[in-house]
Amino acid sequence: MAVTDPVADFLTCVRNACKAKHKKVDVPNSRMKTQLAKVMLQEKFINNYKVITDSKQGILRLYLKYDKQEKSVINGLKRISTPGHRVYATKDKIPRVQGDLGIAILSTSRGLLTNKEARRAGTGGEVVCYVW
């Protein structure tokens, strides 16, 4: 069955794996998902990610991060811009997530950036999701 919103499917897989306390989660690969994983890695929400090639589109494997009490570092994931309702933010109205404890991931002309990076760069874009 075709997925109409691959980013929402990616976020749901990560959310479910965190709740089930899995160490890793596999999702179908795409450039957008790889860039999301890269941003999540540099913001220290995951331990690592790896792209596994196969005869189809490939698999993106995320290694999830937990604290000493086995509580997930990712407390929440929320899809903001959907295929039926795109949400854009100008450089002056870039959202803050959980009082700047979380991040908003924006799709800009410079690639995927966090809300802090987009503010520094002075660019707006499509608000893809929130991670906290």
pLDDT tens readout for residues 35-72 = 999 999 999 999 999 999 999 999 999 999 999 999 99
Q: Which of 29, 88, 8, 120 is nearest to 38 (CA)?
A: 29
> CA torsion angle for 112, 114, 118, 120 (degrees, to 10)?
-130
CATH number at residue 119: 3.30.1490.10
Within-domain flag for 72: no
* Percent of residues, the chain, with pLDDT higher than 70: 98
pLDDT for the residue 106: 98
User: Does one domain contain both 81 and 33?
Assistant: no
Within-domain flag for 48: yes
Within-domain flag for 71: no
User: Does one domain contain both 84 and 60?
Assistant: no
pLDDT for the residue 3: 76
Total domains in the fold of the chain:
2
Within-domain flag for 87: yes
Q: pTM for the whole thing?
A: 0.93
Which region holds residue 58: left if phi is over 0, alpha if psi is between -120 and 50, else beta? Answer: left
Question: Which domain range does residue 29 map to?
Answer: 6-64
- Ranges of the chain whose pLDDT falls below 50: none
Within-domain flag for 98: yes
Whether the CB-CB separation of 125 and 118 falls below 8 Å is answered with yes
Query: How many residues are given for the chain?
Result: 132
Q: Which residues contact 20 (CB under 8 A, 6 or more apart)?
A: none
- CA 106, CA 77: separation in Å to the nearest integer? 14
User: Does one domain contain both 83 and 108?
Assistant: yes
Within-domain flag for 59: yes
User: Does one domain contain both 49 and 81?
Assistant: no
User: Does one domain contain both 60 and 81?
Assistant: no
pLDDT for the residue 1: 58
User: Does one domain contain both 44 and 14?
Assistant: yes
CATH number at residue 26: 3.30.1370.30
